[in-house]
Chains A and B, each alone.
Chain A
Amino acid sequence: MHRTELDEMQVQKRNMVGNQAFMLLFYLLLIDIGLNGFGFRWLQYPMNVFVNMLGCRTYYLIRIIWNNSYVGPRTKTKNIGRQIGLVVGLASFVAGTAAYLEKDSLRIPLSTGDNGAMILFVFSIVLFIVLAIVSVITKWQAKNDE
């Protein structure tokens, strides 16, 4: 067995949670369409679809981490600090390059009229919340080890 892969119980649980999350997404989108048909619009498109997808994704992530099906039976974890440094460095490089190449257009205020900024903001907040929950679950599981 490859050391970085999930074992058989983890695969079974991940598949089970994945199926549940998919069905949850399906019914949430169906309900959303139904509500829209009755004239009740709780959020503007595409924010409503995005919120549904984000909710299901969050449910999926939390459930697979709760069931210990996110990381396979590896003997040693990779250096996470180096990976974070690489990602931050790469993001800084891309941002700096983009700002340099588009420095003239950056002075012109843009208004596209869509919900892109709000989606990005909500996604960032939810991502931080998920990270916090993952951290709590990991510590709780480590405490319950034999």
Chain B
Amino acid sequence: MSKNLKMKSSRAAKDMSQKDLADATGVTRQTINAIEKGDYNPSIKLCISICKVLGKTLDQLFWEDDEDA
């Protein structure tokens, strides 16, 4: 699985740390870190929660184009 740079950049654009995002979504910082690194495939429920916090759509954060994959 490739790194989720879109999520990382969206988080940085909101000036949030991994810990802030983790607290807002109710998971641990290690889980957010694993998602950004591509080590963990989150459930759709967690994806939606992350999207709501970052103000993005699922497509914007989690859709992988051919050149991204």
Contacts and interface: CB of A to CB of B under 8 A. Distances in A.
A68 B11 CA distance: 23
A73 B19 CA distance: 10
Nearest to A72: B28
Contacts of A146: 17-18, 29, 33
B34 A9 contact: yes
Interface of B: 17-18, 22-23, 26-31, 33-34, 40, 42-43, 45-46
Contact of A9 (B23, B26, B27): B27
A73 B43 contact: no
Contacts of B23: 73, 75
A8 B42 contact: yes
A8 B43 contact: yes
Contact of A10 (B17, B18, B28, B33): B28
Query: What 10 pairs between A and B have smallest CB-CB spacing?
Result: A1-B26, A7-B27, A9-B31, A73-B28, A68-B30, A9-B40, A7-B31, A73-B27, A8-B43, A7-B28
Contacts of B33: 146
